[in-house]
Structure 1
Amino acid sequence: MSFAVEAQIVLTHSNSQAINGNTVACGNSTTATSSDNRYYRSFNLNALGVTAAFNLSAIQFGVNSLTGASSYVVTVKAYSTTAAFPAGFPNTGYTLLGQADYTVQTANVGTIVSVPLTATVPANATLIVEVGYAAAATGSGIRIILGSNSAGQTGPSYIASTTCSITTPTDVAAVGTGFPNVHMVINAVGTTLGVNEFASKSVMVYPNPTSGLFTVELPNELEIQKATLVDITGKQFALKTNTGSKIDISGFATGVYLLNLETAEGNLVKKIVKQ
């Protein structure tokens, strides 16, 4: 899903941003030492209601725990592709847009950290986000666990680890005996063409949550050219705008949706909760 926060758009597959002790990771259980681990999220821009180029500004990830040391370096990377991830990753059909290191501190435990990373993901492409770290010294007792929860997700969480012979990104639900309830909290933050100017205007959507009928209030000079609703599976529904920019979703199931509004000045994505 994606949702607007002021002039920003946050791409996420997490139904909740809570950090719970739920993460699977490669490591030495005897010495409680981390091995190398890399986690991935795949964000198809079109499926998330982003119809223009996405200007990435930061990658976010959760930190569950850090023991045996006061800090640990985590590396984030961003790729663009039109391939069906993880096929061919990372050498066939993938462009590395940038990477950055972040030194996780014990104070970050239980929080979501934001790592600045600037890049442009072309329209109609898929953004691949990688968050990973190298192995700790053998037997050091240093262990880092990144954040996840079991609250549901709209796309798979992937993992790779050289030490554990997971050579290509693999759905966490299919690793070993399977971990279907491990949903990594990894987000991408950015803007799209036109969203800054559009979002800065007085755009209101109310009531939200809604039981069905809600109003989209725009400045007088703007009109909604097209409105679509996207559910958590990525399925899109065309919406009819009634008089006074009222939209009725009474026939939709309860849940979280993305409302994509197209105007002459650009697009805006809003999260809508149907009760």
Structure 2
Amino acid sequence: MTKSTLYSISGVLEIDYDITSKACSAIEKIIHGYSKAAILTKSEISSLGNMIAINEILNNETPETIKTKKRKLITNAAMRERVVFISRHKTYHYYDNCPKITSDYQNFTIPDEIPEKSIEEYRKFFIENITTFTTNPDVFYFSANIKFGTNINSIGKMHHRNSGKANTQDMLSILESDQEPCAKSISNALVFYQNNKRIVQKFGAASHLRDKLLNEGKMGPDEHKTICDWHLLKETVKAEIFQKITKINKITNHAYSSDILDAIGFTPCSTCNELKNR
């Protein structure tokens, strides 16, 4: 299971506040052991705390006792995301070398001019006309503006580094190092922070919005590159903190019972299924 999928389970499971609170306290204690600088934002600490809590739940609950939210509410929330390609069905993998785990992907933002009630209609329109968008964007914008009665002139492209690839690389680095998990990653983040303090203080807390800020002209190309590097450094810090707290020390780092994952509405990866059935 990739890190992004593990994060997404927080939208499916009911997580006790005490479990998350303890996890967040443990994260802050680890960071403060090296520096008082705010390497991670409160929301990032909260998200990582949720992931650690989820790991504990998945390792201790049974399919009969696990608590889930209503599937309809989760699906509706996904449908309202302002991106073209959404994941209607969360998946898990049987094999850590599955090509789907390590492939990067591209997505496209849905412009603010499109009202929420028209998101799904626009999503369908974009997918049907994606070739036109790529080869002749002026024609695409003209058609979209007529169809939706808007004045769209820019659509953000979002290139995502797959969390499966990132996590596997992070864990390989941890296993090859003699240092205690967190020491090197936090040290690297602190050095980078000091060398790029102005840009990190300005944009660092919104590093997850870096592509959107660049497309809106609120961030320059050099600033975007710096924040991309900062975001990856933070991801490594989070991966090592997760490894330290959960004592996970395998490359296949998130392994759970398929019965548990089936119980919360996940489906096995189609590629993994094909490999398994050969």
Greater percentage in strand = 1
Looking at secondary structure, tell me which structure has more helix per residue: 2
Asked if Structure 1 and Structure 2 have the same fold, meaning a TM-score greater than 0.5 normalized by the shorter chain, the answer is no
Smaller-chain TM-score bracket = under 0.3
